[in-house]
Chain A
Amino acid sequence: MRNVFLFIRRNINLIFFLTLQVVSLMMLFRYNKFHESVFSAFSNEFSGRINSRYNNVETYFTLKKENERLQIQNAELLNKLKADFAWPDSAYSIITDTIKIDSLEQYRKFLYLPAKVISNSVYAQQNYLMLHRGSSQGVAPNMAVVGPDGVVGTIVNVSGNMSVVMSMLHRQSKIVAVLKKGSGFGEVTWDGKNPMFVTLSKVAKTVPVNKGDTVVTSQYSDKYPPGHIIGVVEAVADDQVTSTYVLKVRTATNFYSLQYAYVVKNLQKAEMEELEKAIKKD
């Protein structure tokens, strides 16, 4: 017993060093798998507060560009208004509904919540963004995040007032996508090399694919609303092993200067999950 204590005393430095190494390596590898720990709950509030101060200053530098981008988006939305369209009147009579209830609201599937981006990374292999909107403002893990130009990522962690987004530029990010033409379902992943490009794989070879085709989110996804732009096909390559296409896609979102984003809430998700659970039970 005495020898054990002597050994510990003699090698206290080495033992302490190894303990700290094991602690940090455990944090590193567990966090990537489960994305939940005491660490993030504490660190979000800590670094989020400093980041939001800094962001207050930084926002001014990209204000002009951001305004232009929002204006383009506004124009796009205005063009979708009902008032912009006129049909030759073919109805016989006008029926007035006396109950003032928005009958469309109960069928609403996706709800957009605006949020400010307060920190952002592009250069790491695993990129995260932080939004200044948290669980108290209706954000929950697994919600989709889209920006003014296109898809951004998925919420992985929330605290009271902040939330962390796993960017599309993350090794573990996987988004179900489709060509805008209507066929060619596949999976969008990132190889970690260039933040301008992502990869769309598993596209069947029966689908005609050309350079310049637009890639959008699929309606098969339970997180993303269909039709949000992911990017544009830059190069087409064959996958020898599986006889599918591997497409190089230029991202639509400019991750370098992202200031605002929308968190997308799927209001019908609970019902979908319930139905899926019922299938698994049988």
Chain B
Amino acid sequence: MSDLLKNIIRFALFIGIQVFILNRIPPLHRFITPYLYFLFILWLPFKTPRLGLTLLGFLFGLTLDFFTKTPGLHAASCTLIAYLRPFLISLMLPKEKFEMSYAEPSVTSMGWLPYAIYVLVFTFLHHSFLVLLEWMQFGNVWYFLGKVFSTTGISLLLITITELLFIRKSRYRTNVA
């Protein structure tokens, strides 16, 4: 399957799961909103051009906004992490061989620890910005901190489950392909 087709299917799947399953789960607590959809941006191939990555983040967030009736809220957060992604990747993986040999970020392509840090940083960034935008209209400091930390915790749990359930076989890029 080509990368393009695979990512188009992922796009629809992540939006569908977020809108029709995760957003409809009865809340455990008012702080907790289970977010998983932004994993799509973290899974995009290393070779995505930077302009395209930022634009894709914006469009992806906007699509979710269509369903949640909050134009710009998720779009802003997704644009942020899509823009910052190349910085962190080049910071953590200085060697060129990673980008050359593997298609996309995953446990096998980056190793356990770097991948965990990569996911943690962007989950935290995404939620902080998202809650900050909500918060500017409404709430207080303890509400802000509580919501960011609990939502990040739930998201990390969901991402761990996703990674365990769907082990992505990273193709080793060779000259043959």
Contacts and interface: CB of A to CB of B under 8 A. Distances in A.
Interface of A: 12-13, 16-17, 20-21, 23-29, 31-32, 37, 39-40, 43, 46-47, 50-51, 54, 119, 121-126, 128, 164, 171, 192-194, 256
Contact of A28 (B20, B67, B73, B79): B73
Contacts of A128: 69
Contacts of B155: none
Contact of A17 (B23, B62, B79): B79
A124 B68 contact: yes
Contacts of B71: 24, 27-28, 31, 37, 39-40, 43
Given A24-B79, A171-B138, A121 B68 contact: yes
Given A13-B54, A32-B137, A121-B23, A21 B67 contact: no
B76 A12 contact: no
Interface of B: 20, 23, 26-27, 30, 33, 50-51, 54-55, 58, 61-62, 65-73, 75-76, 79-80, 83, 133-134, 137-139
16 contacts: A16-B54, A20-B58, A21-B76, A24-B71, A24-B72, A28-B72, A31-B71, A32-B137, A37-B71, A43-B66, A43-B71, A46-B66, A54-B20, A123-B27, A123-B33, A171-B137
B72 A12 contact: no
Contacts of A23: 58, 72
Contact of A192 (B50, B70, B80, B138): B138
B23 A125 contact: no
A129 B73 CA distance: 18
B81 to A, nearest CB: 11
A143 to B, nearest CB: 18
A113 to B, nearest CB: 22
B34 to A, nearest CB: 10
Contacts of A121: 23, 68-69
Contacts of B50: 13
B66 A28 contact: no
B73 A193 contact: no
B80 A21 contact: yes
B51 A126 contact: no
A171 B137 CA distance: 9
A27 B54 CA distance: 18
Given A13-B54, A32-B137, A171-B138, A24 B75 contact: yes
A228 B33 CA distance: 32
A23 to B, nearest CB: 8
Which of B70, B80, B133, B138: most chain A CB closer than 10 A? B70
Contact of B70 (A16, A28, A123): A28
A26 B71 CA distance: 9
A27 B30 contact: no
Q: Which 5 A-B pairs have the closest CB atoms?
A: A28-B72, A27-B72, A24-B72, A24-B75, A24-B76
Contacts of A26: 72
A35 B151 CA distance: 28
B72 to A, nearest CB: 3
A119 B75 CA distance: 21
B68 A24 contact: no
